[in-house]
Chain A
Amino acid sequence: MTSSSPKPNSYRTLPDTDGHFGNYGGRFVAETLMPLILELEQAYKDAKNDPEFQKELDYYLKYYVGRPSPLYFAERMTAELGGAKVYFKRDELNHTGAHKINNCIGQILLAMRMGKTRIIAETGAGQHGVATATVCARFGLPCTVYMGAKDIERQSPNVFRMKLLGAEVKPVESGSRSLKDAMNEALRDWVTNVEDTFYIIGTAAGPHPYPELVRDFQCVIGNEAKEQIMEAEGRLPDLLVAAIGGGSNAIGLFHPFLDDKDVEITGVEAAGHGVHTGKHAASLTAGAPGVLHGNRTYLLMDDDGQITEADSISAGLDYPGIGPEHSWLKDIGRVNYVAITDKEALAAFKLCSECEGIIPALEPSHALAHVIKIAPTMSKDKIIIVNLCGRGDKDIFTVAEALGVKL
């Protein structure tokens, strides 16, 4: 730890009752939404304390999502890198192929508890949209997914999947036509349909209580990993690595380990064409604190406070903000944040495919790229866990194009 800020006794007690993680988080929403946000907060509190809710959640996570996901020793990649032992937390094996469904199951159970009858969501890469459409099909609720027109072009397989699942996919043409604009449009829908609609936010960001509840639903990743590494190695890992767009898979892996002071933690942002080029999505590395989408957090913006466009080969990381808890963890120095370029992520994508027989999504390819850099510098008795939060089937067209291959 390098920060000189005072260390809290525990890193796991936030947010406070107003939804703040230090200076970050909060509830920066239009007044129309405030009563709903407060209602959601209360409903989540009640659910959290209700053993029946937890039981129901566990049931679906086990039999529908397919949890626990394995913690897999990536033996060939470890040998290839010649340093620390690399384990993959295989959340790409979940139903729908990513970690997103952990949260969607939790939120739709909450929505039904609250008597909501219509679901909306935003999506970037389409993984969260697919997961939301999936749970809506499973529980029989109508579903509208907002998706940036630019993302619709580059993630067409996921668009088709959502439609097959019965969801309505609404293209968003405003702004940069990607994830942040999809989120604006979902908020506009929500403010218009306050009575019956539940907004399933896909990442650990947005107004309180979303960053908290999404994190809690994703903590199943870290809780399992902790148990599994104890079983496999008899000790905790030396390093955790996960990719960060909004930051839900990362906080899900990190949070259960935050108070284990010997576990180093690294979050990997998307550096796009390189942080120095200005074309990237590295809000923690190159942004500053601001207010957007219901929370105060690190953002990419100009000196007038106008939000700038993010840029990444990975649609799931292409967002100019970040979950507020990550902003706090950065400032306090508990988690180290780095950035990986498109090019480095593509190289990691290839290496993982070729030496482990696992085609990763472009999002965790960023995490893998950091592992490729760092593992060789660590001794062979060290242990790394990297969150393989999604599979790469959806990305093959993007990757083919980047590699100049015609399909």
Chain B
Amino acid sequence: MSDAIIGGKDRIEKRFAKLKEEGRAGLVTFITAGDPDPEASFEILKALPEAGADIIELGMPFTDPMADGPAIQEASNRALAAGMHMRKTLSLVRGFRDQDHETPIILMGYYNPIYIYGVAEFLEDARNAGVDGLIVVDLPPEEDAELCVPTVEKGLSFIRLTTPTSDDKRLPKLVQNTSGFVYYVSVAGVTGAGSASNEQIIEAMERLRRHTKLPIAVGFGIKTAAQAAEVARQADAAVVGSAIVSKIAESLDENGKATDKTASMVTGLVRELASGVRDARK
């Protein structure tokens, strides 16, 4: 196994260091692995860094994504219907990693598919495939020791979500044992719903920065380049998920299959978002 390939928190740290050097925030893009099918998904994934994605979140499909809105639910359904499963998700990462040694990949999803895979085996395979970090939506700190501790031991980042309901009492617990960055979910709700106001985000950043020196990525409800730019003025990165995934849905033919426009429609949006993020602090 080449060191250039294996995953680890270093890759995330290096990326944020580089962003800092460039004096700008990063763009984190989310797609669901295998959406709309494994091949098209690989084409999209490969094209993301060149289109301006600084970090990639790759959704692990799950039948019951209870913290996600309709766009990501449907992405999960499309991927599962196209035969996606965890081993294929990891090979997708491996295929990407063979070509790109720098762009961090974070797997994001729900605990059950990892639990059933087996935590130790999953972490071993994920690291070897080039996965750098994990976000597991339904594992709060009260339950995550069984995954968080071995993930950290393996050298991968375990990234926790912080939310508008995470108060000063709770935040110390949330930033403990976390690395890479802290993900701030800017609205109470499911993915793809409304967005937070600039004031709310400024206030939240201040609160979070009292508790952590880690970079902060802000997500939920960011759909346009202008919104991404606004977030990029406050946060270290802006996360866009539902809008990208909706673009995939829009590009499909009447049978729900990928078309020759699928990858280009996604990269088109990512380019816009990236220019918003890159110009934000100019």
Give me the interface of A with B, judged by CB distance under 8 Å: 18, 26-36, 174-175, 180-181, 183-184, 187-188, 191-194, 288, 290-294, 299, 301, 303-307
Alpha-carbon distance between A293 and B112 when the two chains are bound, in angstroms: 10
Is B222 located at the chain interface by the 8 A CB criterion? no
Interchain nearest-CB distance for B107 vs A (Å): 14
The digit string for B160-199, where 1 denotes a CB below 8 A from any CB of A, is 1111111100100010000000000100111001000000
Residue contact A301 to B66, C-beta cutoff 8 Å: no
User: Is B47 interfacial (CB-CB < 8 Å)?
Assistant: no
B80 and A32 form a contact (CB under 8 A): no
- Other than the given A292-B64, A307-B63, 18 more pairs (CB < 8 A) read A18-B142, A28-B139, A29-B138, A31-B165, A32-B163, A32-B189, A181-B64, A188-B68, A188-B190, A192-B189, A194-B165, A291-B115, A301-B116, A304-B86, A304-B113, A305-B114, A305-B116, A306-B63
A306 contacts B167, CB within 8 Å? Answer: no
Q: Is B62 an interface residue (CB 8 A)?
A: yes
* 9 sampled A-B residue pairs with Cβ under 8 A: A29-B138, A31-B161, A32-B161, A32-B163, A175-B63, A184-B65, A188-B69, A191-B189, A306-B61
Asked whether, in the complex, the Cβ of B64 is within 8 Å of the Cβ of A184, the reply is yes
Q: Does B140 contact A (CB under 8 A)?
A: yes
Q: Which residues of A contact B142 (CB under 8 A)?
A: 18, 26-27, 34
Asked if B67 lies at the interface with its beta carbon under 8 angstroms from chain A, I say yes
- Choose among B63, B86, B117, B188 the residue that contacts A32 (Cβ–Cβ < 8 A): B188
The interface bits of chain B over 112-145 (1 if a CB of A lies within 8 angstroms of the residue's CB, else 0) are 1111110000000000000000000111101100
Which of the residues B73, B85, B137 comes within 8 Å of A174, measured between beta carbons?
B73
Interface-centre pick from A18, A29, A291, A293 (highest chain B CB count, 10 A): A291
- Select B166's contact among A35, A181, A305, beta carbons within 8 Å: A35
**What's the least CB distance linking A239 to chain B, in Å?**
35
CB distance from B118 to the nearest CB of A (A): 10
Residues of B near A28 (CB, < 8 A) are: 111, 138-140, 143
Whether A27 contacts B140 by the Cβ 8 Å rule is: yes
CA distance A32 to B163 in the complex (A): 6
**Interface readout for B51-87 with A: 1 if CB under 8 Å, 0 if not?**
0000000000111111111100100000010000110
A27–B86 touching, CB < 8 Å = no
CB distance from B68 to the nearest CB of A (A): 8
**Is A35 within 8 A of B63, CB to CB?**
no
Q: Give bound CA distance, A370 to B121, whole Å.
A: 42
Using a CB-CB cutoff of 8 Å, which residues 26-63 of chain B contact chain A? 61-63
Shortest CB-to-CB span from B211 to chain A, Å, is 14
Contacts of B113 in A (CB 8 A): 304-306
Closest chain B residue to A32 by CB distance? B163
Known contacts being A26-B143, A32-B185, is A192 close to B193, with CB within 8 Å?
A: yes
Is the Cβ of B167 less than 8 Å from the Cβ of A35?
yes
Which residues of A are found within 8 Å of B73, using beta-carbon distances?
174
**Is there contact, CB below 8 Å, between B64 and A31?**
no
Q: From B65, which residue of chain A is reached at the shortest CB distance? A: A184
B139, closest chain A residue (CB): A28
Taking the closest CB of chain A, its distance from the CB of B177, in whole angstroms, is 14
Task: Report the bound CA distance from A192 to B194 in whole Å.
Answer: 10
**Chain B: which residue is nearest A208 at the CB level?**
B142
In the complex, are the beta carbons of A305 and B66 less than 8 A apart?
no
Contact check: which of A36, A193, A288, A307 meets B64 at CB < 8 Å? A307
Of the residues A31, A174, A290, contact of B112 by C-beta under 8 Å: A290
Q: Would you give the shortest CB distance from B20 to chain A, in whole angstroms?
A: 26
Given contacts A26-B143, A184-B64, A307-B63, contact A34 B165 (CB under 8 A): yes
Do A305 and B112 have beta carbons less than 8 Å apart? yes
CB-based closest 7 A-B pairs: A305-B116, A305-B113, A192-B189, A304-B85, A32-B163, A30-B67, A184-B66
Which of A27, A36, A194, A299 contacts B143 (CB under 8 A)? A27
Contacts of A26 in B (CB 8 A): 142-143
Residues of A within 8 A of B167 (CB): 35
Q: Once the chains bind, are A34 and B140 in contact (CB under 8 Å)?
A: yes
Q: How far is the CA of A183 from the CA of B67 in the complex (A)?
A: 12
| B86-124 CB contacts (< 8 Å) to partner A | 86, 110-117
Instruction: Chain A residues near B65: list those with CB within 8 A.
Output: 184
Report the Cα distance A33→B139, complex, angstroms: 11
In the complex, A27→B140 CA distance in Å?
Answer: 8
Cα of A299 to Cα of B61 in the assembled complex, Å: 18
Contact B111 A188 (CB under 8 A): no
Interface centre among B64, B68, B86, B193 (most CB of A within 10 A): B64
Q: Tell whether, in the assembled complex, residue B69 and residue A180 are in contact, meaning their CB atoms are under 8 Å apart.
A: no
Report the nearest A residue to B183, measured CB to CB: A31
Q: Which residues from chain A contact B67 at a C-beta distance below 8 Å?
A: 30, 32, 187-188, 191
Q: Would you call B62 and A306 a contact (CB within 8 A)?
A: yes
Q: How far is the CA of A305 from the CA of B163 in the complex (A)?
A: 27
Closest to B85 in A: A304
- B contact residues around A184 at 8 Å (CB): 64-66
Please judge, given known A-B contacts A32-B165, A34-B170, whether A305 and B86 are in contact too, CB under 8 Å.
yes
Give Cα distance in the complex from A27 to B145, angstroms.
Answer: 13
A196-B73 Cα distance, complex, nearest whole Å: 26
Q: Note all chain A residues with C-beta closer than 8 A to B114.
A: 305
Name the residue in B65, B66, B70, B140 with the highest tally of chain A Cβ atoms < 10 Å from its Cβ.
B66
Q: Are the C-beta atoms of B80 and A194 separated by less than 8 Å?
A: no
Chain A residue contacts of B62, Cβ below 8 A: 305-306
Contacts A18-B142, A305-B117 given: A31-B163 contact, CB under 8 Å? Answer: yes
- Chain B residues whose CB sits within 8 angstroms of the CB of A181 once the complex forms: 64
Whole-angstrom CA separation of A184 from B67 in the bound complex:
8
Tell me, in angstroms, the Cα distance from A175 to B68 when the chains sit together: 13
CB pair B140 A29 closer than 8 Å = yes
For residue A181, which residue of chain B has the nearest CB? Answer: B64
| A residues near B189, Cβ cutoff 8 Å | 32, 188, 191-192
Residue of B at shortest CB range from A31?
A: B161
Q: Which of A180, A184, A188 has the most CB of B within 10 A?
A: A188
**In the complex, A307→B164 CA distance in Å?**
30
A281 to chain B, nearest CB (A): 16
Contact of B138 among A18, A192, A291 (CB under 8 A): A291
Q: Is the CB of B140 within 8 A of A31?
A: yes
The answer to whether B66 and A188 have CB atoms under 8 Å apart is yes
Quote the shortest CB–CB distance from A30 to chain B (angstroms): 4
Query: Which has the most chain A C-beta neighbours within 10 Å: B80, B162, B170, B190?
Result: B190
